[in-house]
Every structure is written in C-alpha cells, then in structure tokens.
Amino acid sequence: MTVLEIREIGDPVLRERSREVSSSELASAETQRLIDDMIETMRLAGGAGLAANQIGETVRIAVAEVSGQNPRYPYKPELPLTVLVNPVIEPLGHLSGAINEGCLSLPDLRAEVPRRLEIRVTYLDRHGVEHVEEKRGLTAGTFQHEVDHLDGVLIVDRADPGSLASWDSYERFHRDDFERRARGIVERFGQ
C-alpha cells in the first residue's frame, strides 16, 4: 500500500465535483488499490475520514473510520471502517446542530459547522453492494463532511467565520465547551 499526498486548501482539485464511479470501474484493480491507499493514508494521518479529491482523484469515493480514541477527535464515537462509493445523503427530520470540525486539507484550522443530526445515506461498498443506513449525531456530521468534499465543498464554506480557530486556540479556548456539547450529542443520539 502507498501513503498518498493529502492536498491542501487552494488546490483546485478540492473544489471540483467528483464524478460517479461505474460498477466496472469500481471492480477494477486500480480502483481497489486506490481504496486501500486511501484507507492507509487516512489512518496514518489520524483522520476520521478521507475523500478522493483530497488525494487528487475526482471520483465519488470516501472512507471513514473511528477506531478506539481518535487523537484528533477523542470525543467521536467508534465508527467501523466504511468505504462510501457514490454516496447520497438525505436529511431526516429537522434537527441541526453546530459541530466543531477539522479537516486534513485545512491544516491547523477548526470551525463550527452546522450539520443535520439525522440523515439517511445510500452508498455502494467497495464490492458494489448497496447500503441504506441512518446515521445520527456526530457520525452524521462525519458523513456530511466527506460528501461535501466530493461536491467540492470545504468546512470554511459552511462555517461561522467567527468560529475559525487554530488547533492551539481550539485547545485553549473552545475544547472544553465543545467536548461538553459533543458528549451531549453522543448521549442523545448514541452516535
């Protein structure tokens, strides 16, 4: 497996809408290798997710995983490794909330991002099997973050500009408040 270069804000590829992947393309050795490399890259960077644009490929593929306590996001509940191909998100209900997020493509920046707290996500796994799942709470936010990437959208587009913070400032001034809110979300939704 190969660890891929993570593209950073300002790289035009992060602003492209990625294209759908066909079933034959998904089954190809090249795409399967790309998925393996994305998983490896996400894990090495300590991310909770990674979308294909972030490594310079404009296909609708993203990976997400929270295993044990993630050092970047210690409050996130566990999420088994999920490979999302051609994901589509539909909001369920009307609940929204602000989630403090970081992004591997925006080094040293965190922001409060409004997210739907209950969604349905339809996607193919890496074997082309369709899944329809409901996600809630912080996990719903993670999925919206990744699908945003595939549409060329970054957290700075959705964030309250007054909430932008470096990771040091987040730790100093905002972490305690947000982790309290995050615990409330996890208690309420179990995710």
What 3-state DSSP class applies to 161?
helix
Per-residue binding string, Zn ion, 55-94, x by CB under 5 A, is: ----------------------------------------
* Beta carbons within 8 Å of 21's beta carbon, 6+ residues apart: 31, 59, 60, 61, 85, 86, 124
Which residue in 34, 18, 17 sits closest to 26, CA to CA?
Answer: 34
Instruction: Name the segment binding Zn ion (CB under 5 A); options: 1-9, 99-107, 110-118, 132-140.
Output: 99-107
Q: Which residue has the tokens 């210690």?
A: 74
**Strand (E) or helix (H) holding 115:** strand 110-116
Tell me the residue type at 90. E
What DSSP letter does each residue of 143-169 carry, written as one string? HHHHHHHHTT--HHHHS-GGG-B-HHH
Task: Give me the least distance between CB of 57 and Zn ion, in Å please.
Answer: 15
Residue 130 or 157: which CB sits closer to Zn ion?
Answer: 157
Please, which residue, 103 or 121, has the CB nearer to Zn ion?
103
Nearer to Zn ion, 56 or 128 (CB): 56
Question: By CB under 5 A, how many residues form the interface with Zn ion?
Answer: 1
Residue listed under structure tokens 């995983």: 65
Q: Which of 118, 146, 171, 187 is catalytic?
A: 146
Q: Is the CB of 62 or the CB of 119 nearer to Zn ion?
A: 62
For residue 70, how many other CB atoms are within 10 A of its CB?
Answer: 17
> Which residues have C-beta within 8 Å of that of residue 27, sequence separation ≥ 6?
128
Q: Annotated catalytic, 16?
A: no
Q: Is 103 near Zn ion (CB under 5 A)?
A: yes
CB of 26 to Zn ion, least distance (A): 22
Write out the two tokens for 89: 């998100």
14 binds Zn ion (CB under 5 A): no
The distance of closest approach from Cβ of residue 80 to Zn ion in the complex, given in angstroms and rounded to an integer, is: 19
Residue 100 CB, nearest approach to Zn ion (Å): 13
Q: Which residue's CB comes closest to Zn ion? A: 103
Residue the block writes with tokens 């730790």: 171
Contact residues for Zn ion (CB under 5 A)? 103
- Cite the active site residues: 146
